[in-house]
Amino acid sequence: MNASLKGFLFKLTKQTTMNNPAIIQKVSVTSSYLPAGNLVATLVPSNGNRKKPDQFASLAHEIRNPLSTMSLAAEMLKAIITNDEQKGFLDMIIRGSRRINDILTDIHSVSGENEMNTGKHSVNQLLDEVLEMAGDKIQLNDITIRKNYAAKDFKIQINRPQILIALTNIVINAIDAMAGVKGILTLVTISTDETCIVQIEDNGCGISEKNLNKIFEPYFTNKPDGLGLGLATTRNILRSNHVGLNVKSTEAKGTNFILRFGENDHDKLLQRKRNVPQLNDTINEFGLRLIDTILHED
C-alpha cells in the first residue's frame, strides 16, 4: 500500500473516531472476526449488573456513525484505484466493517435473557466457517493451515453462534501467538459414534507454566492492547454447551487446545463419571495421547 493511501486512511480513521472520543474509552476494536448471533446476550452476564438493552442500542448507534463513513470511504477508494494489492486491503476493511455492523445490529436487537438455541451441526463445517471468518488475518500473517479431519463427520447438538465465537477466539489467539514466526495452524478432528475430539494447535510463542492456569481468568492478558476477555468467554461458552476443554503449551514451541464434543447430555455425563471415574479419566488421557502421536509422528 503506497504512502499516500496509508496517509488518507489514517486521517479518515482519526477524523471519524475523534467525532466521539467517549467511544474510544468504552470500546476496544480487535482484529477478531466474531459471529454476531446474539453476541451481546452471550457475553453479558444475566444478572443484576447487566445493562439495559436501550443502553447497548445507544452505544451501537454512536459507533455505527463513524463506521458508516469509513465503509463508504473504502468503497469509494476501491472504485478509483487500479492496484490489485490495494484493492485487496480495501476488501479486508470492507469485510471487517460489515462484520462490525452485523454485531452492532445484534446489540440493537438484543432483549431479555439469552436462551439456548441449539441444533445439530457438523463439527468439521464449524471449523471451516471459523477459518473463513479469520481468513483475512490468516492471509495477512502468512499462516499455513493444515487440516486433518476425520472421514466420518460428527454432528453435535450445540448453540451454533456461541460455539463459533468460542472457536474463533481460540483460532485468533493462535494466530496472534505466531507473530514473528512462520506460522502453522493445525486443525484435527477424531470422531467416534458418541464423541468428537478437536485439536487446534499452533507453533507460536507458547504459554509459561505459571500463566497456563490464568489464561481463562477475566481480564488476564499478555497482549499490550488486549482486554483479557476472549478466553474467559470461550470457557464459559464451552461449559454451557458441555464441551470438554484441555490446554497444553510449551514456551517457544506452541499451544494445543483440545476440545471434546459429544458430552452435551449433562446428566448422563455426571452419571458416567460417578460410575467409572478411573476408566473415564483413562479414556480421556488415551485420546489426548493418540492425538499427539498422530500429529507428531515422523
pLDDT of residue 82: 92
Lowest mean pLDDT among 54-63, 115-124, 161-170, 264-273: 264-273
How far is the C-alpha of 171 from the C-alpha of 167, rounded, in Å?
6
How far, CA to CA in Å, does 5 sit from each of 19, 65, 83, 91? Answer: 22, 22, 11, 14
**Residue that wins the pLDDT comparison between 58 and 206:** 206
How far is the C-alpha of 179 from the C-alpha of 182, rounded, in Å?
8
Report pLDDT digits (tens) over 86-134.
Answer: 999 999 999 988 888 877 776 555 433 444 578 999 999 999 999 998 9
Mean pLDDT, to the nearest integer, of 180-193? 94
Task: State the pTM of this model.
Answer: 0.63
pLDDT of residue 222: 86
Residue pair 153/188 in contact by the 8 Å Cβ criterion: no
Percent of the chain with pLDDT strictly greater than 70: 63
Beta-carbon contacts of residue 224 (< 8 Å; ≥ 6 apart): none
How far is the C-alpha of 237 from the C-alpha of 244, rounded, in Å?
11
**Residue that wins the pLDDT comparison between 226 and 261:** 261
- Give every strand in the sheet of 244-250, ordered side by side: 144-148, 184-191, 196-202, 254-261, 244-250
pLDDT over threshold 70, residue 4: no
Lowest mean pLDDT among 81-95, 101-115, 181-195, 223-237: 101-115
Per-residue pLDDT band for 58 (boundaries 50, 70, 90) equals low
What is the DSSP pairing of strand 254-261 with strand 184-191? Answer: unpaired
pLDDT of residue 279: 43
**Residue that wins the pLDDT comparison between 168 and 293:** 168
pLDDT over threshold 50, residue 27: no
**Residue that wins the pLDDT comparison between 97 and 31:** 97
